[in-house]
């Protein structure tokens, strides 16, 4: 093939790549048309953008988050968000200090939609697995965790409704303050709970006649005040109820389902 033919093929290839770009510019019209905008770096950045930024980031330039070749870097996020004390000081959100890939959950260029507020546990697990796999070969702790992870993924004891990634998360690290089991069941939350809801569909509550409620349920602080006597006497009609005898007033269907009263809405 002659050098002239090769050059022609290169030109055709480049035109094929640039045609969609040129059409997009021409479709915008006005200053967004072909004219001088092709020489304006800002125009090329707008063209390369896959969508609008969220409201909080709308004033930022591409370089504020992206690095050439690398993409979005955590260090650039930290420049602005290192002093987010409201996030870093709360147990459920303190993990943000150690996460190395902000973009896994906090997606931008989604047309200005509201930033994510629902926890993405799968993304958290992917980040953790990635960091484990990329660690040093001399890191014995990392190796043991990888072995344990692989063993757990193959375990028949893992509930089917819990994804393999979710099952690897250290739930207690963020949710120990939510533990209604008072640490009696240990920290293996994923043995029973999934990440979409605390409730367990297959859980079978003891029969309504059970009287050993306090084994699992601790009375709230209000039950040790005058408030308890007021409700037990006037609502449940149990003037001599004891705070440890949950079964005197409550049923196993739900806490507000009061015996001989029905569903009681306190507030």
- Count, in order, helices (H) and strands (E) of the chain: 8, 4
Indicate if the pLDDT at residue 58 is higher than 60.
yes
pLDDT in tens, 214-249: 888 888 888 888 878 888 888 888 888 888 888 888
pLDDT score recorded for residue 256: 87
Indicate if the pLDDT at residue 114 is higher than 80.
no
Residues 228 and 42: their CA atoms lie apart, in Å, by: 67
Mean pLDDT of the chain: 77
- For the chain, how big is the Rg over CA atoms in Å? 29
Q: How confident is the model over 52-60, as a mean pLDDT?
A: 87
Q: What is the DSSP pairing of strand 66-67 with strand 262-263?
A: unpaired
Indicate if the pLDDT at residue 185 is higher than 70.
yes
Which token pair is 264?
A: 């009681």
Q: Is the dihedral of CA 236, 240, 244, 248 positive or negative?
A: negative
H/E stretch holding 13 reads helix 3-28
Residues 163 and 201: their CA atoms lie apart, in Å, by: 16
Which DSSP symbol is given to 250? Answer: B
pLDDT score recorded for residue 128: 78
At 77, the pLDDT band (50, 70, 90 cuts) reads very high
Are the C-beta atoms of 112 and 54 separated by less than 8 Å? yes
38 Cβ contact partners less than 8 Å away, ≥ 6 residues apart: 25
pLDDT score recorded for residue 136: 67
pLDDT in tens, 126-180: 887 787 777 666 677 767 776 776 776 666 666 677 777 777 788 888 888 888 8
Indicate if the pLDDT at residue 251 is higher than 60.
yes
Are the C-beta atoms of 130 and 104 separated by less than 8 Å? no
Give which of 108, 114, 110 is closest to 62, Cα–Cα.
Answer: 108
Q: How confident is the model over 12-37, as a mean pLDDT?
A: 50
pLDDT score recorded for residue 31: 45
Which DSSP symbol is given to 116? Answer: P
Which token pair is 10?
A: 């290169």
Indicate if the pLDDT at residue 2 is higher than 60.
yes
H/E stretch holding 46 reads helix 41-48
């Amino acid at each position: 093939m002659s050098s002239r033919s090769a050059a022609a093929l290169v030109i055709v290839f480049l035109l094929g790549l640039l045609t969609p770009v040129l059409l997009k510019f021409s479709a915008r019209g006005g200053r967004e048309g072909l004219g001088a905008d092709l020489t304006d770096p800002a125009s090329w950045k707008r063209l390369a953008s896959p969508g609008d930024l969220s409201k909080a980031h709308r004033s930022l330039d591409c370089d504020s988050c992206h690095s050439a070749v690398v993409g979005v870097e955590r260090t650039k996020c930290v420049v602005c968000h290192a002093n987010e004390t409201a996030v870093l000081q709360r147990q459920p959100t303190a993990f943000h200090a150690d996460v190395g890939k902000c973009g896994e959950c906090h997606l931008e260029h989604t047309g200005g939609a509201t930033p994510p507020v629902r926890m993405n546990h799968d993304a958290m697990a992917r980040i953790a697995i990635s960091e484990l796999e990329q660690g040093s070969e001399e890191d014995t702790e990392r190796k043991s965790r990888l072995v344990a992870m692989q063993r757990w993924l193959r375990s028949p004891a893992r509930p089917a409704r819990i994804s393999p990634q979710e099952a690897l998360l250290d739930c207690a690290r963020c949710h120990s303050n939510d533990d209604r089991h008072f640490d009696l069941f240990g920290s293996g939350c994923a043995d029973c709970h999934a990440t979409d809801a605390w409730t367990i569909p297959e859980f079978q509550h003891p029969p309504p006649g059970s009287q050993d409620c306090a084994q699992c349920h601790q009375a709230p602080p209000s039950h040790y005040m005058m408030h308890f006597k007021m409700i037990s006497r006037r609502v449940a009609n149990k003037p001599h109820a004891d705070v440890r005898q949950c079964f005197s007033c409550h049923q196993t269907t739900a806490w507000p389902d009061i015996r001989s009263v029905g569903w009681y809405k306190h507030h």
